[in-house]
Amino acid sequence: MDTKSLFLAVLLVLGLAGCAGVGEKPVFTLDVDATHAKRLVFPNEDDGEVPRYLYLGHLYGDRNIDDPESRRTGPLDYVARFLEFIKGEEPPREIYRPQAGAVDGAGRILVADRGNASVFVFDERGATLETWQQADGGRKFVSPVGVAIGQNGVVLVTDSELALVARLNAKGDSVGPIGRGHLTRPTGIAYEQETQRIFVVDTADHQIKLFDPDGNLLDVWGARGDGPGEFNYPTYLAVHGGKLYVADTMNARVQVLSSKTGAHLATVGALGMYVGNMVRPKGVAVDGEGNLYVVESYYDHLLVFDRRGNYLMAIGGVGSEPGQFHLPSAAWVDGRNRVFVADTLNSRVSVFQFLGGGAENE
């Protein structure tokens, strides 16, 4: 047998040896770390408290997709990986500096990652991951910050450097940006289905700007200041039940406005040095029971308030263990009452399951 025939025969044997497991489907998983021996809940049930939140895991990137093909250990698999290495294949996709996110009608989790200038799209059902980089035709994202799901499932992404809101279809293709010429530094964004209005935080202008789905500017709310309805470098917002929640970051508070008129309704939080106080509030979100979540980025906590603005509890503290954060930026809630936190400097998104309310919400 000549050398060429021998080489082909060896490859055939190696291929047959590496065929085990072919046909298994990839699986999406949140529990990537698997470092906790028992379920991790907040508050700690060992202290006699009633658990309200269950830690589910983290979003990182490709490692959330458990692909049996990547775990195959036949000889040919090692050959294939070596060939990928010498060909300079792309490294695994990893979240670097997550800023905010949303969950669309298909259950996909979308995360704006400023560090990668991309939007990560996790499809739990299909166990796939996509990264969208195009903001508008030929232009790529520079600094994607906020994400919301708009009319007919259009994905809305603010880019603070491009000074616009990208509009993308379900495949990530641009359907035309909005806000160009009206926005200076857009960050947080929310969409209200009932009124079909898009709310955009313009941090540099200290204002909230309202658009219709076609991108027409409808109204501008606020000005710089510390009075009711005034803002000092606001960042994120959420809309729920006819109320607009605005993280008035440099005023160390969250303002609650009427989503229809912009009238000031309430203020949540106060400047202070204790857990439950605010110094640099950023992300805000509301769950199905009306609980308000506020990311206190300075103290690395997720603060929980009831629907009346009363402080309930906190999750977090600085660190990299499950349930800890390092300079978190945003929070969002899906239809299953899962709470997502963009844990920015830990390069991940933390996920918790709200287990239901108690007397505080009755």
CATH code, 116: 2.120.10.30
Residue 238 is assigned to a structural domain of this protein: yes
323: domain range?
A: 41-65+95-361
Residues 300 and 315 in one domain: yes
Tokens of 217: 């500017």
Residue 36 is assigned to a structural domain of this protein: no
Cα 243 to Cα 70, 269, 290, distances in angstroms:
47, 16, 11
Contacts of 238 (CB under 8 A, 6+ apart): 190, 244, 245, 284, 285, 286, 332
Q: Quick one: average pLDDT of 335-340?
A: 97
CB-count burial class (<10 Å; 0-12, 13-18, 19+) for 261: exposed
**What is the 3-state secondary structure of 319-362?**
CCCCCCECCCCEEEECCCCEEEEEEHHHCEEEEEEECCCCHHHC
Residue 35 is assigned to a structural domain of this protein: no
Name the band, by pLDDT with cuts 50, 70 and 90, for residue 359.
Answer: very low
**What single DSSP character describes residue 183?**
-
Instruction: Quote the percentage of the chain above a pLDDT of 90.
Output: 78
3-state secondary structure (DSSP) of residue 175: coil
What is the distance, to the nearest Å, from the Cα of residue 304 to the centroid of all Cα atoms in its chain? 18
Residues 2 and 120 in one domain: no
Residues 222 and 282 in one domain: yes
E strand segments, 193-346:
197-202, 207-211, 217-221, 237-240, 243-248, 253-258, 264-268, 281-286, 292-296, 301-305, 311-316, 330-333, 338-343
The confidence score (pLDDT) of residue 81 equals 47
211-216 CB contacts, 8 Å cutoff, 24+ apart: 211/165, 211/178, 211/179, 211/182, 213/150, 213/151, 213/154, 214/178, 215/165, 215/176, 215/177, 215/178, 215/179
Cis peptide before 228 (omega within 30 of 0): no
Q: Quick one: average pLDDT of 272-278?
A: 92
Q: How many domains does the chain have?
A: 2
Residues 74 and 56 in one domain: no
> In this model, does residue 191 exceed pLDDT 70?
yes
The confidence score (pLDDT) of residue 5 equals 57
Residues 229 and 172 in one domain: yes
Residues 76 and 170 in one domain: no
The confidence score (pLDDT) of residue 161 equals 98
3-state secondary structure (DSSP) of residue 47: helix
Distance between CA atoms of residues 167 and 215, nearest Å: 10
Q: How large is the C-alpha radius of gyration of the chain?
A: 23
Distance between CA atoms of residues 312 and 182, nearest Å: 38
Residue 293 is assigned to a structural domain of this protein: yes
Q: Quick one: average pLDDT of 340-344?
A: 98
Residues 142 and 80 in one domain: no
Residue 288 is assigned to a structural domain of this protein: yes
Cα 317 to Cα 42, 230, 271, 280, 354, distances in angstroms:
13, 30, 18, 14, 19
Residues 85 and 100 in one domain: no
Average pLDDT, the chain: 89
Residues 24 and 123 in one domain: no
The confidence score (pLDDT) of residue 12 equals 45
Q: Quick one: average pLDDT of 320-324?
A: 95
Residues 109 and 228 in one domain: yes
Residues 82 and 50 in one domain: no
Residues 177 and 277 in one domain: yes
Residue 233 is assigned to a structural domain of this protein: yes
Distance between CA atoms of residues 169 and 154, nearest Å: 5
What's the pLDDT tens digit per position in 221-262? 999 999 999 999 999 999 999 999 999 999 999 999 999 999
